[in-house]
Structure formats: structure tokens, C-alpha cells
A = this chain, B = another copy of it.
Amino acid sequence: MTSSIFTGLSAFPLTPLHDDHVDERAFTGLIERLAAAGVDSITALGSTGSYAYLTPEERARVAKLAVEHAGSTPVFVGVGGLRTSHVLAHIDAAEQAGAAGVLLAPMTYQALTADDVFELYRTVTEHTELPVIVYDNPGTTHFTFTIDLYARVAELPGIASIKIPGVPTNPEEAREHVAGIRAVVPEHVTIGVSGDAFAATGLNAGCEAWYSVIGGTLPEPALTITRAAQAGRTSEAVAESERLAPLWGLFTEFGGSLRVTAAIAEHLGLAPHQCLPLPIQGLTEAQRARVAQVVDELDLA
């Protein structure tokens, strides 16, 4: 176990919109809720925080609000963009906001080569002193990292962590998968699992961090899983994850974690109705009723 701040539970809050403007009160409410719950870090403007949909000005403002309301909890800020120069501008804004690190996914419109992506991270790590989390999220970027590219990028000075997109469900295979990455990246670079349904397995398999969607809205169950895994109580972590299986089921059934998490936040009064950026419409009324039922049954409110 390392003393890096890139360990434990990193909670990814939504950036709720209202009438196409950032709802600053809802956003700062989420941040304060996370800090109070004792998450290990907050990652603002992750995919869950809709970074890709916001203007540079909105992103700078959200980064600033996150740091101001997080107290002593470290705040990481998503700085992805389609153009390298835009990424650098987002990094400058994150620095000015007081971020403790930045999260960077290789967003694509035209497909990128491995060399394109390596040069992006090289340029970024030359540009900033802030530690960088490599954000491997093929579901949104449609870019697939190889183990070789993990190794090349992780060698760059300033790379602090790699956010991987889930692990095999079989615990033995998960352990081999994480060990395979661990073998090629420097020791100071932490490996963090994402894909909430995989978190317990990933943490038990040796991931030092969980970059968590649900932790940004429902920090308590995410902390239960994280603290159990960190203490070596592997079956307790698995049991809590299995208790949440109806939630993971909704993620699969309703097209991913974002719409479901937004519906939960809206149901709990943490975000205004239809808080996602259009054209993302959010769940239907029938789907929202199913979400509310699961929230009640699992006592998540």
C-alpha cells in the first residue's frame, strides 16, 4: 500500500445542469456531501461530471467550486478535450483552481494512433507539474490502450495513476490482469479500477484505487466496499457489491451508469430534474420509477 493520494475511493460527482446552465448550488451540495462522507478524493469533471459537454468557462468555474467546497479532500479535475491545445488550457484552469491532480482521457473524433496518444500525454506532462491520471475509458473515447502503451505512458514523469476500465469478473483472472499491468508500470503509479460493478473484484485483485461513479452520489456504500477491501476483508467487499447487484443491473439495462446515477441524484433531491446535458435526455418516467424502487429497496436514500 502506498501513501499516494491516488488511492482509495475517488468519488466522481455529477455536474448537474438546470435549463442548460450549471446548477452551482446542486454541484457544491454534492461536493460537500462527499467531503463530509470522508471519501479519499473527489474527481470533478470526469465522464460522470459531463466534462466533454461543458465550455472552457464552465469547466474552469466547476473546478474552482469543487476545490472551494471540498475542504481538505484532494480534488482531481478532468481535463480531456479533442484538441491538445484545449487540453493544455483546461490544465491551466485546473491549476489555477487549486486541483491536486488532473484526469486525462484521450477523447477522439477521428481515431487516434498509439503514438498520437503517447505524444498527447508527453506534451501534457511537459506542460504541467500536476500529477496526471491516465483515463482509459474505451466506452466513451473508443480508444483502446494496450499493455505496451500503459507501460510507455506510465514512464513519463508526472503520471500518478492509471484508471482502468474494469477487470475480469473471475477473481483469479482479475488478479492476473492487475498483476500484468502492475508488472509494467513504475511502483509509484497506482492502478485504479472503474466500472462500479467491478470495483470489489478490482480492489480485491490489487487495484489501489476505485474511480467511482456511484461514489460521487452515494458515497456510503462505495466507502463500505473500499474500506473492506483495503483492510483485506475481501468477502465483505464482495458481499456489499453483491447487495448492490440490482443497481449494477440497472446500469446495464438502462444504457450505462450516467443516466441511472443522474436519476438517483434527482430522486434524492441532490440534482434538479433532467440534470444531464441535452441531447442526453435521461431516463423515462417508467425507468425512473424502477430506479426509485431499487434505491428504496437497497436503503440507499
CB-contact partner of A20 in B85, B107, B113, B116, under 8 A:
B85
Question: How many copies of this chain does the complex contain?
Answer: 2
Bound Cα distance from A112 to B111, whole angstroms: 19
Residues of B within 8 A of A112 (CB): 279-280
The answer, yes or no, to whether A52 is at the interface (CB within 8 Å) is yes
Report yes or no: A115 in contact with B281, Cβ–Cβ below 8 A.
Answer: yes
Report yes or no: A278 in contact with B83, Cβ–Cβ below 8 A.
Answer: yes
The answer, yes or no, to whether A246 is at the interface (CB within 8 Å) is no
Report yes or no: B116 in contact with A280, Cβ–Cβ below 8 A.
Answer: yes
Given known pairs A53-B109, A111-B255, A255-B111, the reply for A83 and B116 (CB within 8 Å) is no
Bound Cα distance from A120 to B280, whole angstroms: 9
| Closest residue of B by beta carbon distance from A109 | B52
CB-contact partner of A140 in B20, B109, B113, B258, under 8 A:
B109
Q: What number of A residues sit within 8 Å (CB to CB) of B?
A: 33
The answer, yes or no, to whether A110 is at the interface (CB within 8 Å) is yes
Q: How far is the CB of A16 from chain B (nearest CB, A)?
A: 14
CB-contact partner of A255 in B53, B113, B281, under 8 A:
B113
Bound Cα distance from A278 to B84, whole angstroms: 5
CB-contact partner of A281 in B20, B52, B119, under 8 A:
B119
Residues of B within 8 A of A113 (CB): 255, 281
Chain A residues 94-121 with CB under 8 Å of chain B are 106-107, 109-113, 115-117, 119-120
Residues of B within 8 A of A140 (CB): 109-110
Chain A residues 119-133 with CB under 8 Å of chain B are 119-120, 123
Bound Cα distance from A139 to B109, whole angstroms: 9
Given known pairs A110-B140, A256-B111, the reply for A83 and B53 (CB within 8 Å) is yes
The answer, yes or no, to whether A82 is at the interface (CB within 8 Å) is yes
The answer, yes or no, to whether A226 is at the interface (CB within 8 Å) is no
Bound Cα distance from A82 to B279, whole angstroms: 8
Q: How far is the CB of A239 from chain B (nearest CB, A)?
A: 31
Report yes or no: A281 in contact with B53, Cβ–Cβ below 8 A.
Answer: no
Report yes or no: B106 in contact with A107, Cβ–Cβ below 8 A.
Answer: no
Q: How far is the CB of A140 from chain B (nearest CB, A)?
A: 5
The answer, yes or no, to whether A273 is at the interface (CB within 8 Å) is no
Q: How far is the CB of A152 from chain B (nearest CB, A)?
A: 15
Bound Cα distance from A90 to B28, whole angstroms: 31
Q: How far is the CB of A251 from chain B (nearest CB, A)?
A: 13
- What are 20 A-B pairs with beta-carbon distances under 8 A? A52-B109, A52-B110, A53-B82, A53-B109, A54-B83, A82-B277, A83-B278, A83-B279, A84-B277, A84-B279, A106-B279, A107-B109, A110-B140, A112-B280, A113-B281, A116-B281, A117-B279, A119-B279, A120-B278, A142-B142
Query: Which 8 A-B residue pairings sit nearest by Cβ, starting from the closest?
Result: A52-B109, A84-B278, A120-B279, A116-B279, A53-B83, A84-B279, A83-B277, A20-B85
